[in-house]
Structure 1
Amino acid sequence: MGDIKTTRRSAIKLLGASAAGLLAAPAILRSRSAFAQSNVLNITTYDKFIPADFLEKFQADTGITVNIRLTDDQGKQYNLLTAEGANPSTDIVTVVGHRFSQFIGSNLLAPLDTARIASWNSLIPAYQQADWLTTDGKTWGLPILAGFECLARNTDYVEDTGSWDVMFADANKSATSYIVSDFLSITMRYLGDDGDYVTYVDKPDVAQAATNKARDFLIQHKDKVRKYYDAGSEIQQMFINEDVYVAQGWSGPISKLIMDGHPIAISVPKEGTYGFVYTLNVVNNAPNADNAYKFIEAVAASPEVGAAMTRQSGFTSTFAGVEAILDEKERAASTLPADQVERITFFSSVNRDMKNEMVDRASAEIKAA
């Protein structure tokens, strides 16, 4: 199976193409027939991704009952599908592009038959043609939302320095927050190393040294951290409560704060950051695959759905025509200056096993220090 590669150029192309820039425990294994029902669809996705009005209309139009299981982590989805093996309890999962190789390599996803999606061309062309979306000549999901790791700050308290060094400033002692595993990669980039491990293939010693350097740096500056967080809703609440004034965050939850009128600014510092795209994916051996295709087609059929997804999640829609539907505040919240868009590189699937192992271990050591 070929590698799924993502370049800086593709990152610029993708985010520049729209909006000017921007679980439950595993079920007990059962036979596939236990989940196959003509009028049911089971989806695992993130909070705020599927608009309630759209979901209600889809169910009324099709007679299909949609069961949503929320997740907040790619690993949880992977572990669930792996545990269920050839008898999955879910039909659609929401995977980020740089994790495709892990899911595909474990035979957890089915290739997407785009001929069954009449509205496939509603995608912005850059997403239709994205190199990370195709491997072995097959397409593996419907891109729905794009985002990036951003620097978020309360504009009432923190000035824009244009650098990630604001996260380590003495003035922000006990006033910062971040997801440890995500910010470790950014810190590696900040220190001049490869936070995505693409250049560390067959170089475990070099990778470990770079990881340890970032780990030690974050431990050294642990006094700046008010609290580590795991979910977007957590950092939103910390900003609203003014528990923190500056943070690393996903662009979606931070943009949503801006849309809601909070004094928060979003930026990509000069040292750069990483981007990602969420996709809807049909599960291999999905018990209700036909219903999954009906749902995916319905999502792609109207830019109104893409606009609603952006309003709810804060992430940038992948569908053409959405920008014209969003209001000025909504567009501004998901817009970046061109020079900042150029600083975003999409996460790659190359060398993920090494990265995951080293980052997970270092993250645990940072938390325990």
Structure 2
Amino acid sequence: MTRLLINRRSTLKMLGAGAGALATPAIIRPAFAQSNVLNVTTYDKFIPQSFIDQFRNDTGIEIRVRLTDDQGKQYNALAAEGTSPTTDIVTVTGHRLNQFLKSNLIAKLDSGRLKNWSNLAPAYKDAPQLTVDGSTYGLPLLAGFEGLVRNTDYTKETDSWAIMFDEEFKGLTSYIISDFLSITMRYLGTDGDYVTYENKREEAQKATNEARDFLIKHKPQVRKYYDAGSEIQQMFVNEDVYVAQAWSGPAAKLIMDGHPVELSVPKEGTYGFLYSFNVVENAPNADNAYKFLDALLASPEIGAEMVRQSGFASTFAGVDSALTDREKAASVLPDEQVQRIQFFSPVNRDMKNEMIDRATAEIKAA
């Protein structure tokens, strides 16, 4: 299997391309063709309810949504089902694609079955995160990054992650430990994505331990470690925190809703990611999956509604024309900040996951 390699040029090309409720998750039946249903595992607010309703009216197919909030949980659930999956589509980030492929969990995407494939923004049609040995393994959906978020009423403009460790905001910060650990490594001058540590386990462990100890030392800064985007949104709304690390989607949604929040990429840089919808290997309703993916691509307004709900940037062409000025401003960064975003790489993921997971547990327990 050829590795997925993502360089800065592809990062810039892709980023420059372009609180509704989901259906109540239904019980997913055993894996066999069900003809009039489609089982989708995805994140909250990724599929607009208006699209779900229209798709059912047009096709007679019922979309059953199973919500997830973590790539690892999604992978474990699918792996446990083996060759008899109970879901048809999963939502994978590009840097985790190899993990799913190694276990034969997702199928090649036949873009020829999608008459609306041309409606993708040009930069995403051959997204390197989703291409292996010349084959595509998913429909690019939404792009995002790990950003610095601050309440502009209580903080001054800053260009550094150092604000997360400023004594002035003791007890007023928050982050996802596993995500912020990688950013902290970058802040300290080491490789938070572990690409340069391939076959250098001792060096990787030293860098991980340094970041772990740094976060433990600054643990009094943290009001609460969080897991889901909705949690950090609520903390900002309640003014429980003034600064945080957060995914760009939830932060941009706060800006769209008029909250006094700024989203930025500090001078030390950050990491970006690409979500995709992927057809599961042996999906019981694969034909319905392709109908669903093609329908998603049918109109820029569908992509725009996904942006409004999730806050992430759309991969669909023409979406900007369907967004308001405030919605566009919430997801647009100055060029110099875009230059600071590096897409997560799949290289050396096993080592990274192992060390990050262990350090995360140690930080929580400290």
- Shared fold per TM-score greater than 0.5: yes
CA separation in 2, counterparts of 1:320 and 1:130?
14
Instruction: Please state whether the residue corresponding to 2:83 is helix, strand or coil.
Output: coil
Establish whether residue 43 from structure 1 lines up as the match of residue 50 from structure 2. Answer: no
Give the one of 320, 324, 327 matched to 2:324. 327
CA separation in 1, counterparts of 2:364 and 2:11?
31
Aligned residue in 2 for 1:112 = 109
Amino acid aligned to 1:6: I
CA separation in 2, counterparts of 1:129 and 1:288?
26
Aligned residue in 2 for 1:192 = 189
Q: Is the 2:28–2:87 contact (alpha carbons within 8 Å) kept by the matching residues of 1?
A: no
Instruction: Please state whether the residue corresponding to 1:247 is helix, strand or coil.
Output: strand
CA separation in 2, counterparts of 1:114 and 1:154?
43
CA separation in 2, counterparts of 1:236 and 1:218?
22
CA separation in 2, counterparts of 1:133 and 1:45?
17
Q: Is the 1:27–1:84 contact (alpha carbons within 8 Å) kept by the matching residues of 2?
A: no
Structure 1 residues without counterparts, runs of 5 or longer? 19-23
Q: CA deviation at 1:129?
A: 2.0
Aligned residue in 2 for 1:265 = 262
Q: CA deviation at 1:130?
A: 2.0
Q: CA deviation at 1:136?
A: 1.7
Q: How does 1:1-369 map to 2 (within 5 A)?
A: 1-18=1-18, 32-33=31-32, 36-369=33-366
Q: CA deviation at 1:16?
A: 1.3
Instruction: Please state whether the residue corresponding to 2:42 is helix, strand or coil.
Output: strand
Report the number of matched residues.
Answer: 361
CA separation in 1, counterparts of 2:126 and 2:281?
23
1:188-227 Cα offsets, whole Å, 9 max, x none, are 0000000000000000000000000000000011110000
CA separation in 1, counterparts of 2:17 and 2:90?
25
1:59-92 Cα offsets, whole Å, 9 max, x none, are 0000001100100000111001100000000000
Q: CA deviation at 1:133?
A: 1.6
Instruction: Please state whether the residue corresponding to 2:63 is helix, strand or coil.
Output: strand
Amino acid aligned to 1:297: D
CA separation in 2, counterparts of 1:175 and 1:235?
12
CA separation in 2, counterparts of 1:10 and 1:187?
24
Indicate how the Cα distance of structure 1 residues 237 and 357 shifts in structure 2: closer, same or farther if over 3 A, else same: same
Q: Is the 1:91–1:289 contact (alpha carbons within 8 Å) kept by the matching residues of 2?
A: yes
Q: CA deviation at 1:250?
A: 0.2
Structure 2 residues without counterparts, runs of 5 or longer? 19-24
CA separation in 2, counterparts of 1:8 and 1:241?
37
CA separation in 2, counterparts of 1:200 and 1:9?
22
TM-score by length of 1: 0.96
Q: Is the 1:133–1:141 contact (alpha carbons within 8 Å) kept by the matching residues of 2?
A: yes
Q: Is the 2:152–2:260 contact (alpha carbons within 8 Å) kept by the matching residues of 1?
A: yes
CA separation in 1, counterparts of 2:163 and 2:270?
15
CA separation in 1, counterparts of 2:11 and 2:64?
33
1:288-315 Cα offsets, whole Å, 9 max, x none, are 0000000000011111100000000000
Instruction: Please state whether the residue corresponding to 2:273 is helix, strand or coil.
Output: strand
Instruction: Please state whether the residue corresponding to 1:277 is helix, strand or coil.
Output: strand
Amino acid aligned to 1:309: M
TM-score by length of 2: 0.97
User: What stretches of structure 1 move > 4 A for 4+ residues in a row?
Assistant: none
Q: Is the 2:28–2:64 contact (alpha carbons within 8 Å) kept by the matching residues of 1?
A: no
Q: Is the 1:112–1:282 contact (alpha carbons within 8 Å) kept by the matching residues of 2?
A: yes
Q: Is the 2:127–2:140 contact (alpha carbons within 8 Å) kept by the matching residues of 1?
A: no
CA separation in 2, counterparts of 1:206 and 1:44?
37
Aligned residue in 2 for 1:21 = none
Q: CA deviation at 1:27?
A: 7.7
Aligned-pair identity (%): 67
